[in-house]
Amino acid sequence: MNKICIVFLLLFSNFFFAQKKCGTDAKLQELIKNKPGFAAKYNAMKDFIYNPNSRKNVFSRQSNAANTVVTIPVVFHILYKNTNQNISEAQIQTQLDVINRDFRKLNTDFNSVVPNVFKPFAADIEINFCKATIAPNGTVTTGITRKSVPDTFVFEEEYSTSSGQIPWDTSKYLNVWVGRFTTLNLLGFAIPPSIPIQDNDGIVISDRAFGTTGTAVTPNRRGRTVTHEIGHYLGLFHPWGDGDCLEGDGVADTPATFQDYDGCPTFPSNLYACVSSTNGSMFMNYMDYVDDACMAFFTLGQKEVMRNILAGPRLSLLTSNGCGDLGLDNFEALNAISVYPNPVADYFMITSPQLQIDKLEIYNVLGQLVKTQKLIQNNNEINIQEFPRGTYFLRIYNQDKFLKSDKIIKK
C-alpha cells in the first residue's frame, strides 16, 4: 500500500511539473498591487508598444537601418542549494544555443511543428544573444555568476536580493537567474518592460526547465521556457490575454484564445479558440503553454512588438558593451537618445544608452522655461502630471553642453 502511495505521489508531482506554468502574469499583478503608480506607467508602456503614433522607430533613425540584427548581452546567475543544482557551463551553453536559434527562426523543428498555413506568419526576430564578456565594472567575465544558497532560500522571492544575486546593470544586460523554485509547478517568469525598468528586472527560470541537458526534465527539456519568458521580457503577452476574448495579446496575427493549450494538441484545434476557424488556434506559438517539442515560432506581429520595446524601454540594450565595445560614432550615439512614450499622459522617459546626459529643460510653445530636471542615469523618468495639454519642447544637456532637442505632446 505504501509503495502504491509513493508511486501515486511521484506521478502526481510529475503531472504538475509537466504543465508549463509561467508566473509572469502573477508577477505583473504583484507589481501593480504593491508599487504605487506602476499601473499607470505600465499602461503608458503598453500604449507605446501598440500605438504607432506613440513612438519613433529607433532602427530607422540609426545608420544601421531598420532590419538590423541586434545583440543582447546576457548574464546567467546560478543560485544552487546543492551540487546537482550548480548546473554545468555545458547546460548553460545549450540554452544559449536554443534561444539564438529560436529568435532567428533557425530551429530545426520549425518545418515539422509549424503547420503550412501558419508558416507565412513566422518571423526571424533578428535578435542574437551573447554571454557577457565584460562585467559592469569593466573586467573580463564568463557571463556566469554562481552562489550557494541555503535550503531555506525562496528562489522566486529572493533571487535578486543580497541573499541571492544582485542584478548587473539592467539597462545593459539581460539578467537570467537559474535555480529551484519552491512552488512546485512554476517553471519561470519574467519582469515585463515598464516605465521605468524595475530593479529586479530580468527572467527567472527553474533549472529543471533550462537548456537541453543536465538537470532539465522532459517535457521542458528543449529550452523553450527561456524562449517564452524572453518573449515576455520583450513585451509579449500570452495569446489569451485576460481570457475574456476582447483583446487577446493585442497582436493581429496571433488568433485569440480564452485559455492556454498544453501538452501536444492535434492540429487544427478550436478547443479554446475565441473564434472557430479552419486553421484553429496557433497553439504551437512560443507564447502558449504547450510542451517544448510542440512550440516552434514567433509571428511577424510579435516581432513588431519586441522591436518596439527595443526602441523604447529596452533601448539601452542595443548599445551595451557587455559583449565588447560596439564603437558607435557620436552621430549614432546622439540619435540613440530616445524620448518615450510620445504623446504622453503623466510620465515619460529619456534614455541615453551611449552618451552621458545630466540636465533636461522643458519649454512651452511660448518659449517659456517650465521645468528643469537633473538626469542622473541612463533611464530617467520625467513627471509632467501637472502640465496642461499641449506641445512642449525639450533641450538635453551634458555639463551645460547642449546635445539634442526634441518635442513631446501632453495628451
- Give 18's pLDDT tier (boundaries 50, 70, 90): very low
**pTM (two decimals):** 0.80
Residue 369 grid coordinates: 522655461
45-54, 247-256, 277-286, 288-297: range with lowest mean pLDDT: 45-54
3 state SS of 301: helix
Ordered DSSP codes for 80-107: ESSGGGS--HHHHHHHHHHHHHHTTT--
* Whole-number Å distance between alpha carbons of 243 and 169: 35
CB-CB contact of 207 with 85 (8 Å):
yes
Q: Which of 229, 247, 381, 386 is catalytic?
A: 229
63 burial level (CB within 10 Å; 0-12, 13-18, 19+): exposed
Which of 76, 72, 123 is closest to 95 using CA atoms? 76
* pLDDT tops 80 at residue 327: no
* pLDDT tops 90 at residue 238: yes
Ordered DSSP codes for 359-375: EEEEE-TTS-EEEEEE-
Query: Angle at Cα 255 formed by Cα 306 and Cα 197, nearest 5°?
Result: 25
Residue 397: the pLDDT is 85
Task: Read off the pLDDT of residues 83-120 as tens digits, 9 standing for 90 and up.
Answer: 999 999 999 999 999 999 999 999 999 999 999 999 99
Q: Which residue has the cell 502526481?
A: 12
Residue 398: the pLDDT is 84
Beta-strand pair 127-131/70-80: parallel
361 catalytic? Reply is no
* Whole-number Å distance between alpha carbons of 42 and 277: 33
* Residues sharing a CB contact under 8 Å with residue 327, sequence separation 6 or more, in sequence order: none
* Whole-number Å distance between alpha carbons of 313 and 235: 10
